[in-house]
Homo-oligomer: A and B are copies of this chain.
Amino acid sequence: MPLSPHQFDRTPDRITNRPTWLISRAFARSSAILSAGFEQHGDGLRGYHYRLLAALEQWGPASQTDLGRTTGIDRSDVTAALTELEARHLIERRADPQNKRRNIVTITPGGISELAALDAVVNKAQDDLLAPLTQAQRHQLVELLTRILEPTDP
């Protein structure tokens, strides 16, 4: 009885239990939740902008290359995202007197409050995503994912 609907109520085993598949699905859900949140509170800002603002707020002024390194965003994408942030007066770029090829990027007070708003969005996304897990399980998940990511840093 091919093509009957109840044949399709689960994903293929070959795929379902594979970490790479699960991670891609988790990422899809996570992205959907985040972008929905960004769209609501959206001044058109997205993940890249959030990462950059967070890095700036946490570490203070930095060059664009350093921002790229710490946020995992390519130099060229950093340039584009910063331009959009600058247009909204959320960051400032000024030339480094010590090194004329370098821009020193600073977060503005407006950027800090925007970051706070985005933080709320991102925090809520964590809860939405991890709703089915207990606190201990959430911690476990973070631990495991961290371990996966750690040894590749250098």
- Interface set of A (CB-CB < 8 Å, partner B): 2-3, 5, 7-8, 11-20, 22-31, 33-34, 47, 51, 54-55, 57-63, 66, 69-72, 96, 104, 119, 122, 125-126, 129-133, 137-138, 140-142, 144-152
Residue A147 contacts which of B15, B133, B149 (CB distance < 8 angstroms)?
B133
The answer to whether B12 touches A70, judged by C-beta atoms less than 8 angstroms apart, is yes
- Chain A interface secondary structure, helix, strand, loop or mixed? helix
The answer to whether B125 touches A13, judged by C-beta atoms less than 8 angstroms apart, is no
Chain B residues whose CB sits within 8 angstroms of the CB of A66 once the complex forms = 3, 5, 8
Total copies of this chain within the assembly:
2
Chain B residues whose CB sits within 8 angstroms of the CB of A63 once the complex forms = 3
The answer to whether A22 touches B58, judged by C-beta atoms less than 8 angstroms apart, is no
Residue A122 contacts which of B20, B51, B147 (CB distance < 8 angstroms)?
B20
Offer 19 A-B interface pairs, CB within 8 angstroms, sorted by A.
A2-B62, A11-B72, A12-B57, A12-B70, A14-B54, A15-B51, A17-B146, A19-B30, A19-B142, A19-B145, A20-B33, A20-B126, A23-B27, A23-B129, A25-B72, A29-B149, A29-B152, A130-B148, A132-B147
